[in-house]
């Protein structure tokens, strides 16, 4: 079983469009949407949800206003500015302390140090994850609640579920749609992956961000491939990026020209390879062949 | 006035709009600061090309153990919600990358065996160019404390200027940290199904943060009308629409600013700022 993770560094380079196309070409494979902050893969893959589960990324503190004596110790110790003096009155004081659920990181310090044990630490449901079926294979995806934390944990969970699904259905490939950036969710997406595909664009921004995310993948010792999307926007930059990638041991597996077929396909809820049999689809197929060679 | 430029979806044009807005305002004589809060992948400097005048190392506090004082009570490990510190037979082990710097272990240790030491997570850099004060953060590769670095960068906010905060993509902790304390949010989107989906998530986020906002539709003629219809249905203010333009895309790829390629945009960006001020004045 192999796991391919599609990341980018820079946002908007075409990760999801590519991952969706790979799903169509790899069929059947397990698909996993690990861009939990802004999940879009489902818009094209149209998953039929079979199982919904709660996701809890951490805990949150709540103050019982009937017990609060207004000593303010919680506010004094909270490092996340999550405690405010704006709770309801009780028999003892006109205003009690209250926890801001968005700011609270669930560290438990206020709970530990409240002299009257007025604070509880409870598991919070931050979102939901889903096991679904799509026309290309099973899919694991999620919806993080609004303004919720701990995307990294949810990403880890999705990947674990995807591996279990692959074993269960005897499928030997997992295609993971990752997120932009280099932080916690991206790290959680790539650790232990067999192959990372970076999708970039031939712009100074794309090149800058590619350098950082490639460093990240290298830190984790993961074999890295590169696809330069919208390659004709700046052919010189495409060549330069390709050269720099090869120098650092990254295989350039494709240069895909800008094509509004990607947008048109998305609007029709199709992958680009379903939308058109034209030149652009041939390029994407050639890219996929290169990736399958690398997957072994 | 602090205006945040956010999106939900990546690659919609936050940095393009933020940098061009900042430069347009500066050219119109306003005191402006551009703060790049996308500390994982900062791009503003590519277009603004600032002279960096000050570099600050950004750190978070992590526990440091004096094993000779440790009594082996294990309370540090019991308190920690992040598995960042455990005590095994009077030996305390810390896993700094997991530490959330809550200070709990140090506070709960009865033997004063734990003190706090700084752990570097990245840098914040400040400077200026052509009348625009500049600041950004650069997270160290492999570090996960994005919100902490954003907090550090924001400490350099100039209260005497119009501050344009360029937020990272997404809808979770990093963006929320960038948006906290700002006065208005411009949500930049593209007119596609992905753009619409992520815009809806971003709208949910700014509403949770109780911040006034408006939408900027970038490359407004390259997709469908889903975003426009959604905004109309929800009564969401579309503050600006920018048509798709390959020349601007090519210039962008070279690190050139939109207002230098199409100077008429400078007035449009100033209008965007006026519109934003107007919205805030009527609250």
The reported pLDDT for the residue numbered A296 is 87
What CATH number should be reported for the domain holding residue A267?
3.40.50.300
- Are A219 and A208 part of one and the same domain? yes
* Dist CA A210 CA A224 (whole Å): 11
Task: Specify the pLDDT at position B202.
Answer: 97
**Eight-class DSSP state of A66:** T
Integer Cα distance of A19 and A44 in angstroms: 10
B71 and B54 in a single domain? The answer is no
Position B283 scores a pLDDT of 66
Instruction: Tell me, yes or no, whether A226 and A108 share the same domain.
Output: no
Q: Are residues A112 and A161 in the same domain?
A: no
Contacts of B202-207 with C-beta under 8 Å, sequence gap 24+, read B202/B6, B202/B7, B202/B8, B202/B171, B203/B234, B203/B236, B204/A146, B204/A147, B204/B171, B205/A146, B205/A147, B205/B8, B205/B171, B205/B175, B205/B176, B205/B179, B206/B6, B206/B179
Residues A96 and A243 in one domain: no
Domain end point (choices A124, A145, A171): A124
Residue A158 in this model has a pLDDT that exceeds 80: yes
Q: Provide the chain A residues 37-96 that lie in CB contact (below 8 A) with chain B.
A: 37-40, 43, 58-59, 77, 79-80
One domain for residues A146 and A214: yes
How far apart CA A34 and CA A40 sit, in angstroms, is 10
Residues B83 and B173 in one domain: no
The whole-angstrom separation of Cα A200 and Cα B154 is 29
Please tell me whether residues A284 and A236 are part of one structural domain. yes
Q: Clarify whether residues B135 and B101 are in a common domain.
A: no
Cα(B238)–Cα(A147) distance, rounded to whole angstroms? Answer: 23
Range of the domain at B103: 67-112
The 10s digit of each residue's pLDDT in A242-286 is 999 999 999 999 999 999 999 999 999 999 999 999 999 999 999
Number of DSSP helices (H) and strands (E) in chain B, helices first: 11, 11
* Chain B residues touching A203 at Cβ < 8 A: 252-254
Q: Tally Cβ neighbours within 10 Å of residue A258.
A: 17
- Give chain B's mean pLDDT: 96
Contacts of B208 in chain A (CB under 8 A): 102, 146-147
Q: Is B240 found in the same domain as B181?
A: yes
Q: How far apart are CA A34 and CA A140, in angstroms?
A: 9
Burial letters for A104-123: b for 16+ Cβ neighbours within 10 Å, e otherwise? Answer: bbbbbbbbbbbeeebbebee
Do A110 and A251 sit in the same domain of this protein?
no
Specify whether B20 is located in the same domain as B75.
Answer: no
CATH of the domain at A63: 3.30.70.20
Mean pLDDT of A74-88: 95
B9 and B148 in a single domain? The answer is: yes
Cα B132 from Cα B145, distance rounded (Å): 28
Give me the torsion for CA of A37, A40, A41, A46, rounded to 10°. Answer: 120
Q: A101 to chain B: nearest residue by CA? A: B208
For residue B186, being part of any structural domain is answered with yes
The pLDDT of residue A77 is 97
> B103's torsion region: left (phi>0), alpha (psi -120 to 50) or beta?
left
Q: What's the CA gap between A269 and B59, in Å, rounded?
A: 45
A10/B10 Cβ within 8 A: yes
Residue A88 carries which DSSP code? P
Q: Which residue of B has its CA nearest to A260?
A: B222
Q: Give the residue from A124, A155, A174 where a domain finishes.
A: A124
Q: Torsion-angle region of residue A67: left (phi > 0), alpha (psi -120 to 50) or beta?
A: alpha
Q: Given pLDDT bands bounded at 50, 70 and 90, which one contains residue A34?
A: very high
Here the tokens at position A291 are 């990736």
Q: pLDDT (tens digit, 9 = 90+) per residue, A102-148?
A: 889 999 999 999 999 999 999 999 899 999 999 999 999 999 888 77
pLDDT for A39-60, tens place per residue? 999 999 999 999 999 999 889 9
Average pLDDT over residues A186-211: 97
Same domain, B152 and B97: no
**A6 alpha carbon, distance to own chain's centre:** 10
Q: Looking at the structure, do residues B204 and B71 belong to the same domain, yes or no?
A: no
Number of domains in chain A: 2
Q: What angle do CA A131, A134, A137 make, to 5 degrees?
A: 85
CB A269 within 8 A of CB A44: yes
Residue B127 CB neighbour total at 10 angstroms: 18
Asked if B242 and B184 sit in the same domain, the reply is: yes
Domain CATH for B101: 3.30.70
Residues B7 and B102 both lie in one domain: no
**What would the pLDDT profile of B109-168 be if each residue is shown by its tens digit?**
999 999 999 999 999 999 999 999 999 999 999 999 999 999 999 999 999 999 999 999
Chain B residues with CB inside 8 Å of A233's CB?
Answer: 246, 249-250, 253
Model pLDDT, residue A11: 96
Mutate to test the interface with B, among A33, A143, A180 (most CBs of B within 10 A): A180
CB pair distance less than 8 Å for A182 and B141: yes
Shortest alpha-carbon distance between residue A170 and chain B (Å): 31
Burial A240-253 (b: 16+ CB within 10 A, else e): ebbeebeeeebebb
Report yes or no: B58 and B123 within 8 Å, Cβ to Cβ: yes
Question: How far apart (Å, rounded) are the C-alpha atoms in residues A49 and B230?
Answer: 25
| pLDDT confidence tier of residue B103, bands split at 50, 70 and 90 | very high
- pLDDT per position as a tens digit, B193-252: 999 999 999 999 999 999 999 999 999 999 999 999 999 999 999 999 999 999 999 999
- pLDDT computed for residue A222 by the predictor: 97
Judged by CB atoms closer than 8 Å, whether chains meet at A181 and B107 is answered as no
What range does the domain containing A108 cover?
58-124
Residue B19 inside a domain? The answer is yes
Residues A262 and A119 grouped into a single domain: no
Q: Three-state SS across B108-143?
A: HCCCCCEEEEEEEEEEEEEEEECCEEEEEEEECCCC
Distance of residue B59 Cα from the nearest chain A Cα, in angstroms:
15
Are residues B260 and B182 part of one domain? yes
CATH of the domain at B149: 3.40.50.300
Question: Does residue A232 belong to the interface with chain B, where contact is any CB pair within 8 Å?
Answer: no
Asked whether residue B134 falls in the same domain as residue B174, the answer is yes
Do A262 and A173 reside in the same domain of the chain?
A: yes
Q: Tell me, yes or no, whether B88 lies in a domain.
A: yes
Q: Which residues pair with B215 in a beta bridge?
A: B187, B238
- A29 shares a domain with A120: no
How far apart CA A205 and CA B166 sit, in angstroms, is: 14
Please indicate, yes or no, whether residues A87 and A220 belong to a single structural domain of this protein: no
Min distance A295 CA to chain B CA atoms (Å)? 25
How close B159 comes to chain A (CA, Å)?
21
Query: What's the DSSP call for residue A40?
Result: -
Residue B280: pLDDT over 90: no
- B117 within a domain of the structure (yes/no): no
Total domains, chain B: 2
How large a percentage of chain A has pLDDT more than 70? Answer: 100
Query: Domain boundary at A101, A124, A147, which?
Result: A124
Domain boundary among B112, B146, B179: B112
Same domain as A204, residue A179: yes
């Amino acid at each position: 079983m192999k796991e391919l993770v599609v990341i980018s560094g820079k946002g908007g380079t075409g990760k999801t469009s590519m991952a969706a196309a790979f799903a169509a070409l790899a069929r059947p494979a397990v698909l996993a949407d690990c861009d939990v902050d802004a999940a879009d893969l489902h818009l094209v893959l149209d998953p039929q949800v079979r199982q919904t589960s709660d996701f809890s990324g951490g805990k949150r503190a709540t103050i019982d206003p009937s017990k609060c004596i207004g000593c303010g110790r919680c506010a004094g110790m909270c490092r996340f500015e999550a405690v405010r003096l704006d709770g309801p009155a009780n028999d003892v004081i006109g205003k009690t302390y209250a926890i801001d659920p968005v700011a609270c990181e669930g560290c438990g310090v206020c709970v530990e140090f409240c002299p009257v044990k007025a604070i509880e630490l409870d598991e919070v449901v931050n979102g939901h994850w889903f096991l679904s079926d799509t026309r290309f294979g099973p899919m694991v995806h999620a919806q993080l609640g609004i303004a919720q934390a701990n995307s990294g944990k949810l990403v880890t969970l999705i990947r674990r579920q995807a591996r279990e699904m692959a074993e269960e259905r005897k499928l030997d490939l997992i295609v993971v749609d990752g997120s932009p950036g280099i932080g916690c969710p991206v790290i959680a997406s790539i650790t232990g992956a067999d192959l990372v595909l970076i999708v970039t664009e031939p712009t100074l921004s794309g090149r800058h961000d590619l350098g950082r995310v490639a460093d990240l993948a290298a830190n984790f010792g993961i074999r890295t491939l590169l696809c330069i999307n919208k390659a004709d926007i700046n052919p010189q930059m495409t060549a330069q990026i390709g050269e720099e990638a090869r120098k650092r041991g990254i295989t350039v597996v494709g240069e895909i020209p800008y094509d509004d077929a990607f947008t048109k396909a998305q609007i029709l809820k199709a992958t680009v390879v379903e939308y058109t049999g034209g030149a652009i689809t041939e390029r994407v197929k050639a890219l996929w062949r290169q990736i399958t060679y690398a997957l072994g | 006035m602090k205006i945040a430029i956010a999106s939900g979806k990546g690659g919609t044009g936050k940095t393009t709009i933020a940098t061009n807005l900042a430069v347009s305002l500066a050219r119109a004589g306003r005191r402006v600061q551009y703060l790049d809060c996308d500390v994982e992948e900062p791009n503003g400097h590519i277009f603004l090309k600032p002279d960096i005048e000050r570099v600050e190392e950004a750190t978070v506090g992590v526990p440091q153990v004096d094993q000779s004082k440790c009594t082996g009570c294990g309370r540090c490990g019991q308190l920690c919600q992040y598995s960042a510190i455990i005590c095994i037979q009077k030996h305390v082990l810390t896993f700094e990358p997991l530490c959330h710097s809550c200070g709990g272990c140090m506070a709960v240790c009865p033997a004063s065996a734990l003190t706090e030491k700084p752990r570097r997570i990245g840098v914040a850099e400040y400077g200026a160019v052509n009348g625009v004060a500049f600041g950004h953060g650069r997270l160290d590769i492999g570090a996960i404390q994005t919100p902490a670095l954003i907090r550090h960068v924001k400490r350099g906010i100039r209260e005497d200027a119009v501050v344009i905060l360029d937020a990272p993509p997404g809808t979770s902790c990093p963006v929320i940290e960038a948006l906290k304390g700002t006065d208005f949010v411009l949500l930049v989107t593209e007119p596609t199904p992905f753009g619409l989906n992520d815009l809806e998530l971003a709208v949910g986020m700014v509403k949770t943060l109780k911040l006034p906002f408006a939408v900027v539709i970038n490359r407004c003629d390259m997709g469908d009308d889903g975003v426009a219809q959604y905004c109309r249905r929800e009564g969401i203010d579309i503050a600006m629409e920018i048509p798709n333009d390959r020349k601007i895309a090519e210039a962008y790829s070279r690190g050139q600013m939109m207002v230098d390629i199409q100077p008429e945009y400078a007035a449009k960006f100033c209008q965007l700022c006026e519109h934003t001020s107007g919205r805030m004045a009527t609250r």
